[in-house]
């Protein structure tokens, strides 16, 4: 029986990377979160070959000293919290301290960082979990991380990656989510040397949505901002006629963290249940802000899912907020009733403005419709030829004449005989042969018997 032993840090990090780093998009997610937690106002992401060849994330955040740079490569080393109670006051994206050592254990990892008050920076290179060198370098204030040859120490994990276009799509979607979460941060995304999008610092969420998804997409959205019982819902929701065939554009954030919450998704679907056809999904970019103690963000390895302490309260709040905004939009559209088609007085409906009598009367110059006009009598045209005279009725035939036709038909039918197995019983030019029974024609009727 094998003995129990403690795994080395390198093996433990590679095992932990299986939960945290599923694909290249997870590397981008963890590094972008660290940049935003560092207070960066500019983040640049570049990747090649769907993230397999290289991923570069550069920011202008606070940077790290040499000691902090080396300590960040250790497991469970973080600056976000100290005790378990700090999870109830958490306002940062990352907090576990597992991402950087996990990434460094399954790739070639290069870290360059410098604090704003330092004279020089620090460069740390790790290959497959093994430290290569640590030295001084010249770099701008902030942090620059390059991850290349992802999953080369674990080839089995590399085989499970999808095609380059698929992995690139996941990276693009990840960067878009964090660009929406932080409009005050400028984002640049580069794929294989080509700039996909470059969004400057935006003052409002609407500007950032227009930069990422286009002006037409932003024009079809309605702003919403509701506060109730310590919860705030803000963002943009689609108009009643705006829908999509998938849920990809139902984007929700909880305390600025992009999440995939069933509670929020079902609340949105229920709010649009009467305005969208079956199989269509609403468009929304919603931010839910509430007490960090009322939500648990530590229920998923990649922090994609959250759990609310009071699911029903959150769901009801989101439904009421969205329905209230949709009703306000609907009221603005139906505030002006159509003009009446007659001059008869009408009963005023509460909540609708009164229509003046002059506007209720149909103008005299408007011609009546063709349906309302009476039928015109038929007038014979003088240029038409006269109609032919009607045909004379045919007199009915007499009983004697009518009886001749059935007699002749019966006479012809008597020529058919059922000839059986007795050849001698058949008469006429055709004779029956053999014992097979067949219909045959006889020119002269004869009382044949079988």
Q: Is residue 379 part of a domain?
A: no
DSSP secondary structure, 174-186, as one string: HHHHHHHH-TTSE
Residue position matching structure tokens 């009643």 = 240
> CATH number for the domain including 242?
3.30.230.10
The verdict on 180 and 42 lying in the same domain is: yes
Which range of residues forms the domain containing residue 420?
A: 415-450
pLDDT reported for residue 76: 77
pLDDT tens, 350-364? 444 444 443 443 444
More confident residue, 378 or 132: 132
pLDDT reported for residue 9: 74
The verdict on 142 and 190 lying in the same domain is: yes
Output DSSP code: residue 421.
Answer: S
* Mean pLDDT within 374-389: 53
The verdict on 252 and 145 lying in the same domain is: no
For the chain, the farthest-separated pair of C-alpha atoms sits apart, in whole angstroms, at 133
pLDDT reported for residue 351: 43
- The Cα 236–Cα 224 span in angstroms is 6
pLDDT tens, 38-82? 999 999 999 999 999 999 999 999 999 999 999 999 887 887 777
Percentage of the residues of the chain whose pLDDT score is greater than 70: 71
- The Cα 238–Cα 234 span in angstroms is 13
pTM: 0.70
**Which of 296, 331, 366 lies at the terminal end of a domain, its last residue?**
331
Contact in structure between 147 and 27 (CB atoms under 8 Å): yes
pLDDT tens, 275-307? 888 889 999 999 999 998 899 887 776 678 888
Q: Is residue 394 part of a domain?
A: no
Q: Give a three-class secondary structure readout of 295-318.
A: EECCCCCCCCCCEECCHHHHHHHH
SS3 326: helix
The verdict on 183 and 258 lying in the same domain is: no
* Mean pLDDT within 362-384: 47
Backbone angles phi, psi at 115, to 5 degrees: -80, 160
Q: Flag the least confident range among 13-22, 152-161, 202-211, 414-423.
A: 414-423
- The Cα 64–Cα 134 span in angstroms is 14
pLDDT reported for residue 336: 36
The verdict on 161 and 242 lying in the same domain is: no
Q: Is residue 258 part of a domain?
A: yes
How many degrees, rounded to 5, is the angle at CA 332 between CA 329 and CA 336?
150
Q: Is residue 186 part of a domain?
A: yes
Percentage of the residues of the chain whose pLDDT score is greater than 90: 50
**Which of 331, 364, 381 lies at the terminal end of a domain, its last residue?**
331
> CATH number for the domain including 19?
3.30.565.10
- Whether 135 shows a pLDDT value over 90: the answer reads yes
Burial 422-450 (b: 16+ CB within 10 A, else e): eeebbbbeeebeeeeeeebebeeeeebee
**Which of 303, 331, 359 lies at the terminal end of a domain, its last residue?**
331
Q: What is the mean pLDDT of the chain?
A: 79
* Burial class for 339, CB neighbours closer than 10 Å (0-12, 13-18, 19+): exposed
pLDDT reported for residue 121: 95
Q: Is residue 157 part of a domain?
A: yes
Q: Is residue 304 part of a domain?
A: yes
Number of domains the chain is built from: 3
Let me know how long the chain is.
450
Tokens of 213: 């998804």
- The Cα 68–Cα 182 span in angstroms is 26
- The Cα 277–Cα 274 span in angstroms is 8
SS3 266: helix
The verdict on 87 and 195 lying in the same domain is: yes
pLDDT reported for residue 374: 47
């Amino acid at each position: 029986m094998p003995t129990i032993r403690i795994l080395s840090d390198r093996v433990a990090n590679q095992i932990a990377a299986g939960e945290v780093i599923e694909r290249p998009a997870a590397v981008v997610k963890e590094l972008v979160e660290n940049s935003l937690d560092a207070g960066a106002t500019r983040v640049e992401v570049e990747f090649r070959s769907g993230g397999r060849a290289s991923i570069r994330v550069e920011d202008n955040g606070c940077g790290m000293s040499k000691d902090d740079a080396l300590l960040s490569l250790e497991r469970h080393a973080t600056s976000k919290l100290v005790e378990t109670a700090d999870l109830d006051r958490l306002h940062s994206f990352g907090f576990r301290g597992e991402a950087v050592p996990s990434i460094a254990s399954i790739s070639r990892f290069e870290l360059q960082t410098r604090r704003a008050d330092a004279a020089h920076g620090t460069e740390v290179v790790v290959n497959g979990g093994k430290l290569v060198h640590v030295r001084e370098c010249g770099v701008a204030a902030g942090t620059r991380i390059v991850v290349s040859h992802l999953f080369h120490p674990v080839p089995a994990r590399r085989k499970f990656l999808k095609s380059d276009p698929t992995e690139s799509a996941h990276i693009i979607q990840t960067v878009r989510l964090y660009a929406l979460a932080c409009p005050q941060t400028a984002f640049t995304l580069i794929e294989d040397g080509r700039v996909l999008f470059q969004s400057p610092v935006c003052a409002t969420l609407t500007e950032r949505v227009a930069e990422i998804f286009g002006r037409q997409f932003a024009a079809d959205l309605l702003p919403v901002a509701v506060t109730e019982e310590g919860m705030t819902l803000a963002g943009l929701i689609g108009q009643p006629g705006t829908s999509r065939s998938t849920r990809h554009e139902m984007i929700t954030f909880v305390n600025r963290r992009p999440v995939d919450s069933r509670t929020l998704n079902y609340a949105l679907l229920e709010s649009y249940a009467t305005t969208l056809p079956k199989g269509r999904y609403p468009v929304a970019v919603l931010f839910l802000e509430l007490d960090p103690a009322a939500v648990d963000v530590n229920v998923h390895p990649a922090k994609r899912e959250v759990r609310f302490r009071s699911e029903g309260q959150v769901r009801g709040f989101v439904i009421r907020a969205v329905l209230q905004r949709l009703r306000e939009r609907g009221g603005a559209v139906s505030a002006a009733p159509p003009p009446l088609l007659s001059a008869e007085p009408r009963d005023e409906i509460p909540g609708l403005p009164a229509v003046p009598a002059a506007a209720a009367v149909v103008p005299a110059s408007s011609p009546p419709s063709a349906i309302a006009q009476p039928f015109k009598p038929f007038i014979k045209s003088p240029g038409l030829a006269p109609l032919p005279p009607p045909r004379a009725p045919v007199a009915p035939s007499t009983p004697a004449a009518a009886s001749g036709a059935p007699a002749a038909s019966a006479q012809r039918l008597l020529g058919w005989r059922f000839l059986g197995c007795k050849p001698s019983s058949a008469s006429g030019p055709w004779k029956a042969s053999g014992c097979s029974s067949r219909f045959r024609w006889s020119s002269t009727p004869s009382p044949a018997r079988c």
